[in-house]
Structures are given as structure tokens and as C-alpha cells.
Amino acid sequence: MSTITEIQEAIAKLSEEERAALRQRLDAYEEEDWDRQITADCASGKLDWMEEEAEGDPLEGNFLPLPGKIEEKPYFLDLFQGLAPGSSTTCP
């Protein structure tokens, strides 16, 4: 019998509350894995392209309109009016 089969059989015997607790713990494992991966990708430079793309000036209209939408300046660009030029964010 494989470990996976044993785990599946054990899960089938859990109460609803126990399965909910297990689900929360498995979600936490997945979040921890994601955090480790995104941190490693950031440190290795794999995400540098995102920062380069984000450095464009949204007030210059460097955006692609969504298909089927009216092609005008998106409402959120007004939020950028007060930002200092050259400000940037960095990876965690």
C-alpha cells in the first residue's frame, strides 16, 4: 500500500471538523511553499522583468486597453498623479 493511499484512507475517516483543520494546514503548507519560491525567484533575478515593466510612466498612456472596453484613460491613472517620479518598489 502506498503512502498516498494510506493518507487518502485516513482522510476519508476524518470528521468534517478534522478535514477542515487538515485543509487549513495544507493551505498553510502551500502558502509557505509559495513564499519560498517567490523569494527565491526574486533573489535570483527571475522577476526583474516585472520591475522593468512597472517602471513605465502610466500617465504617458503606456497601457493596453481591455478587449471590449472603451479606449480611454483608465480611471486609476488619476491615482498616479501625486506620485514622485522615479519612485520604485523592491522585492521582499
Does 24 fall in a domain? yes
Question: For residue 31, what are the CA distances in angstroms to 5, 23, 34, 46, 48?
Answer: 24, 12, 5, 19, 22
Does 37 fall in a domain? yes
| Longest alpha-carbon distance in the chain | 63
Does 30 fall in a domain? yes
DSSP state letter for 46: T
What's the number of domains the chain is made of? 1
Question: For residue 43, what are the CA distances in angstroms to 36, 38, 46, 49, 89?
Answer: 11, 9, 8, 13, 14
Question: Residues for the chain: how many in total?
Answer: 92
Cα distance between residue 17 and residue 19, in whole Å: 5
pLDDT tens digits, one per residue of 66-75:
566 555 555 5
Does 2 fall in a domain? yes
Does 34 fall in a domain? yes
Does 14 fall in a domain? yes
* Residue 35 structural domain: 1-47
pLDDT tens digits, one per residue of 10-40:
999 999 999 999 999 999 999 999 999 999 9
Does 65 fall in a domain? no
State the chain's mean pLDDT as an integer: 77
Cα distance between residue 43 and residue 48, in whole Å: 9
